[in-house]
Structure 1
């Protein structure tokens, strides 16, 4: 009897270049939603009373790789932490731990090195059902949204989104996102 091959498919990595066609921006300040609810189910004492957020919606068409050229993308970049301290994670916070919560190390050439268990990405990307559009929503530090708006405000200059996509099984994750004045496909 032949054995089944139990290998997991290798992760796939794709660098995407998306030419920006249009964008919309908004900024807001408000009281924390937990304060306004009669029964705040997810409220925590360390949540902030005031919330501030900037949202940037960017639409464009992929130019690279050739196999995905012409595909449409709608990217929402939200300058807001979902939870307090989201953007302050350190490598210690993602170090792998054993069943007892003790940090795990490996030995390499006589030196103990930590083993990290990073998150799969900063956001996931998925194709909209029934449409040929890819959707991506990512939470970032507010300063990044401000920097992106400065680039978008420059007249008569083509802009490109650069996405580093990783496919794990059936799900696609974004490991990095950038907005730039040069075509990432030419780099």
Structure 2
């Protein structure tokens, strides 16, 4: 055992932490932010610091820190300000620590748009197209059309112009996949 464990550490050494892609064994909870926790533990060991040091730095008790390490608490729950202190302690950018803490969700990395937003983008493309500009309803008329009619117009424009607006819409709004797939199968059959 290391000197750190002999000093009364509540935590296993960083090398004893399971790999991130492994399934939890023996009913143990999944440890979110395991990569960050492992890095913190490794740094504590390298610098010869007790667990109390990182707990104090984060403004939590040693027991709370141990709970984060064993998966009963989430390290990202301490908040960005405390994770900024951890970043400073580790000598790395805050965003890197936030990523390691699993602070972000995949959806944080793309712009969230509604179906109406997407359909308005199609309308703007139709209005910019010299072949369609005279056929595009005004914005007021467009807003008054039922959603299904706007989707139909978007599909027609997509097919005629050879553009792919609806593919993106289908990914973001899976309910549209069945509507547009059925329409395209019928069109191919005809």
Indicate the TM-score class for this superposition, using the shorter chain for normalisation.
under 0.3
Under a length normalisation based on structure 1, what TM-score does the superposition of the two structures give? 0.21
Q: Which structure is richer in relative contact order (CA contacts within 8 A, separation 6 or more)?
A: 1
Under a length normalisation based on structure 2, what TM-score does the superposition of the two structures give? 0.21
